[in-house]
């Protein structure tokens, strides 16, 4: 089991928060992901005047890692300068499940430096993952 440097992830996620583009919600979010290579990648939320086009910090951090060639991850940490601890939204949980094992830790940290950690399986039980497509029997559509 790789030792996870949570303070380094926290620092990176906090730094990412400073770049958040959140003129509508005023809710900045920063995320750091630890790839299996040992490298840390960051993302912030990027909002849009067409609100539904907003992309969360989690998905931007994962995208930054994927474009760098990463496909496997050891941990994810969300930082929000709030008192409440922010867990990843439902869409982000699905994207996390694309690349992370169910046992991978997903943490949230607030401005009081408190941290809560879940496994991905706790956040998204019975996840639909790439293995369901691999195992599909390609039965196709039965026409009436
Ligand atoms: N947001 C994230 O970036 N990650 C989360 O885990 C929760 C929500 C963003 C989306 C939007 O820009 C703002 O926070 C308010 O929903």
The CATH number that domain 6-134 falls under is 3.40.140.10
Write out the catalytic residue numbers.
58
Residue 141 pLDDT greater than 80, yes or no: no
Q: Note the pLDDT tens digit of each residue in 32-76.
A: 999 999 999 999 999 999 999 999 999 999 999 999 999 999 999
Give the whole-number percent of the chain exceeding pLDDT 70: 97
Phi/psi at 99 (5° precision): -120, -20
Span from the CA of 81 to the centroid of ligand 1 (angstroms): 12
> DSSP letter at 1?
-
For residue 57, give the ligand 1 atom closest to its CA. Answer: 3
- Residue 78: closest CA among 142, 20, 139: 20
What's the CA-to-centroid distance between 119 and ligand 1, angstroms? 20
Average pLDDT over residues 116-138: 93
The rounded distance, in Å, linking the Cα atoms of 52 and 89 is 14
- Ligand 1 atom index nearest CA of 28: 14
The residues spanned by each domain of the chain are 6-134
**Running DSSP on this structure, what letter comes out for residue 36?**
T
């Amino acid at each position: 089991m790789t030792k996870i440097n949570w303070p380094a992830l926290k620092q990176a996620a906090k730094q990412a928060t400073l770049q958040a583009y959140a003129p509508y919600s005023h809710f900045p979010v920063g995320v750091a992901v630890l790839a299996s290579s040992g490298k840390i990648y960051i993302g912030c939320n990027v909002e849009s005047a067409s609100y539904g086009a907003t992309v969360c910090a989690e998905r931007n951090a994962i995208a930054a890692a994927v474009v760098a060639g990463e496909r496997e991850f050891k941990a994810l940490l969300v930082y929000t300068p709030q008192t409440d601890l922010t867990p990843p939204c439902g869409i982000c949980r699905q994207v996390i499940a694309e690349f992370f094992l169910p046992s991978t830790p997903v943490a949230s940290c607030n401005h009081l430096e408190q941290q809560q950690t879940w496994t991905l399986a706790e956040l998204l039980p019975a996840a639909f993952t790439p293995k369901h497509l691999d195992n599909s029997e390609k039965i196709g559509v039965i026409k009436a």
